[in-house]
Structure 1
Amino acid sequence: MKITIFGATGRVGHEILQRALADGHEVTALVRSLGKLKPHTNLQIIKGDVKNYGDVTLAIAQADSVISAIGTDKTTTLSEGIPNIIKAMLQLNVKRIVTIGTAGILDSRAEKGKLRFQSTESKRKLTFAAEEHAKVFYALKETELDWTIACPTYLPDGGATGVYRTEKNRLPLNGEKITVGDTAHFVYEESLQNKYNQSRVGLAY
């Protein structure tokens, strides 16, 4: 399979990249700095910016599926980049995309009709990151793409166990954390299996 990864130099994105390469997939990664990824026979590295439509189109041109592990980092890169990804996928007839969001954009258990970050269920005072991820959710929701948004809660470093809980559109009850490794495990496997089509998925132990 040919997979395009955005955010491949980040914590989760790099783990996903390693899994895809280990399984023999052909991967294209769009990065801002070429020195952050090691060369690999099955890896095409393109220097560019997700905010540039031409760069995004070039990265997706040969893809069977797309994975976005773009973070927020107090910038609007995510919300500016996702329209380019969607537009390029539609133009190139690429249907499958899995993105990484945050537990804040899952449905609230405490207040019906609200997302967690909008409700009393969230303990976070700052909502910028959740607002950025919500824009991705709303944008994908308006398309007919085969999208899935993985929504981990607190995300410490750590390897993959392959043992964690998932719940469609909600955070598993009393879920408090999930490691980078297990988040990458879910995203990679979901990109291949498509079990949660057009859904957000809460991830936690």
Structure 2
Amino acid sequence: MKLTVFGATGGVGREVVRQALAAGHEVTAVVRDRARLDVPDRLGLHVATVADLRDEEALVPLLRGRDAVVSALGAAGNQQARLTPVTGPALRAVVPAMGRAGVDRLTAVSAAPVGPDAPTDGFFTRGVFLPLLRRALRDVYADLADMEAVLAASPVDWTVVRPPKLTNGRRTGVYRRAVGEPLPRARTIPRADVADALLAFLTDASVSRRAVVVAS
């Protein structure tokens, strides 16, 4: 496939680019700073520098002729999201740009706390830990929820991947998933496995226009 990857310099985004290239896909990696893309130049990799992802006109040429889009966008931290929302504003430009370019398929990373809690998780998790986490990262989750709302209201064939805490473990390709519902005991997952899911779900019709929680 020919893919355009947004957020290519982040932890998940770099893994998406590496894994897609290793699988033989052609990748356009959209970045703001080429120096931050820790992926060696190789056949099939095209790097496009875009200063403002809210600029729909700048995005259309990067999407023409592509088969699908992967969004690995996210705030670098709560402070960044508090100052400038990232994913919601970007997807407001990406979605119409996809329509103009004739691209329909998209997967995007979100976060498990954006969705509902698993009722089988214990009182401490549902009554203490998650409320504190949502309060501490409220701006990050509000931005991701906005992104999900943009996709839900769009004609795009989207899938949202909601991971819990991200780790730097190796890719296993083996992880639990729950489609359209919470996943019990969703604690951690390697960034490399989130990237695996973002790529695998591109061709999985069972997760079309659904949110999927993934966890180790």
Scaled by the length of structure 2, the TM-score of the pair is 0.85
Question: Which ranges of structure 2 fall in alignment gaps of 5 or more residues?
Answer: 120-125
CA RMSD for the aligned pairs?
2.0
Q: Do structure 1's residue 72 and structure 2's residue 75 form an aligned pair?
A: yes
Deviation of 1:198 (Å): 0.4
Deviation of 1:20 (Å): 0.8
Distance 2:87 2:154 in 1: 17
Q: Do structure 1's residue 203 and structure 2's residue 214 form an aligned pair?
A: yes
3-state DSSP of counterpart to 2:206: coil
* Larger proportion of helix: 2
Judge conservation of contact 1:178–1:204 (CA < 8 Å) in 2. yes
Q: Paired residue for 2:113?
A: 104
Q: 1:188 aligns with which of 175, 178, 199?
A: 199
Distance 1:169 1:122 in 2: 21
Q: Paired residue for 1:113?
A: none
Question: Which ranges of structure 1 fall in alignment gaps of 5 or more residues?
Answer: 111-116
Judge conservation of contact 2:113–2:130 (CA < 8 Å) in 1. no
Q: Paired residue for 1:22?
A: 22
Q: Do structure 1's residue 91 and structure 2's residue 100 form an aligned pair?
A: yes
Q: Paired residue for 2:123?
A: none
Distance 1:91 1:204 in 2: 35
Q: Paired residue for 2:142?
A: 131
3-state DSSP of counterpart to 2:207: coil
**Number of matched pairs:** 199
Judge conservation of contact 1:171–1:204 (CA < 8 Å) in 2. no
Q: Paired residue for 1:54?
A: 57
Distance 1:202 1:11 in 2: 18
3-state DSSP of counterpart to 2:189: coil
Judge conservation of contact 1:148–1:200 (CA < 8 Å) in 2. yes
Judge conservation of contact 2:61–2:101 (CA < 8 Å) in 1. no
Q: Do structure 1's residue 34 and structure 2's residue 9 form an aligned pair?
A: no
Q: Paired residue for 2:13?
A: 13
Distance 1:161 1:29 in 2: 24
3-state DSSP of counterpart to 1:172: coil
Judge conservation of contact 2:180–2:210 (CA < 8 Å) in 1. yes
Deviation of 1:40 (Å): 1.8
Deviation of 1:172 (Å): 1.4
Q: Do structure 1's residue 140 and structure 2's residue 151 form an aligned pair?
A: yes
30-39 vs 135-144, which moves further: 30-39
Taking only the aligned residue pairs, the percentage that are identical comes to 27
3-state DSSP of counterpart to 1:9: coil
Q: Paired residue for 1:153?
A: 164
Judge conservation of contact 1:29–1:59 (CA < 8 Å) in 2. no
